[in-house]
Amino acid sequence: MTFDAFLALLVYALVTSVTPGPNNFMLLASGVNFGFAKTIPHMLGISIGFLVLLLAVGFGLGAVLTAFPVLHAGLKVAGGVYLLYLAWKIAMSRSLSGKGEAKARPMRFIDAAAFQWVNPKAWVMAITAMAVYANPEHPFLSVALISIAFTIVNLPSVSVWAGFGTALRGFLSDPVQLKWFNIAMGLLLAATLWPMLR
């Protein structure tokens, strides 16, 4: 991979990691509801989970899903159902962490990592990156370089969303404003399914 191609890959990784999608909407809501520090395991789970997904796609899982469309369809359905469940939980959240909702908790590392396997945007990002930037003549090296590019930009990109959510905590300390914010985040998260349904 040339230096120019690697820079283009970095730009692709940055743009796809920082733009709105299921992960980033959940991080924004988590930053508001739980603060930045309690959202760190969620951010790390996204970064590590996506890296594992990216490596799996790069080393052949994407080809398996293409060869067996029923597996791909099953994954889409499971992902869609789980995403709607998460959207519902976010929309129904009514208080900031430490202010009365004992059951509310931020997403754990393992949950966030596992979510990448049913996240439609993560699959599109991984398959597109491997299709466009992988070199069939040097598969191991190109998969490694693609993984390095996403590792460099992913955690800082998702941190922006959690940080923005944390910055909104003061403004959203009013229960009515928080309620409508969480409903809006739940609806936006559910709306990320639209590209998958077309």
Using one digit for the tens of pLDDT, what is the confidence trace for 168-194? 988 888 888 888 887 887 888 787 677
* Residue 29 domain flag: no
* Residue 17 domain flag: no
Q: pLDDT tens-digit profile of 26-58? A: 999 999 989 999 999 999 999 999 999 999 999
pLDDT reading at 111 higher than 90 = yes
Q: Provide the residue type at 2 as one letter.
A: T
Mean pLDDT score, 104-122: 90
Q: pLDDT tens-digit profile of 116-137? A: 998 888 988 898 888 888 888 8
What is the Rg, in whole angstroms, of the alpha carbon atoms belonging to the chain? 17
Q: How many domains would you assign to the chain?
A: 1
* Residue 6 domain flag: no
* Residue 44 domain flag: yes
pTM assigned to the model: 0.80
Tell me the residue range of the domain where 140 lies: 36-197
Chain centroid to Cα 120, Å, comes to 9
* Residue 67 domain flag: yes
* Residue 110 domain flag: yes
Top pLDDT among 180 and 104 is at 180
Name the pLDDT band for 99 (thresholds 50, 70, 90): low
76 burial level (CB within 10 Å; 0-12, 13-18, 19+): middle
Residue the block writes with tokens 């191609």: 5
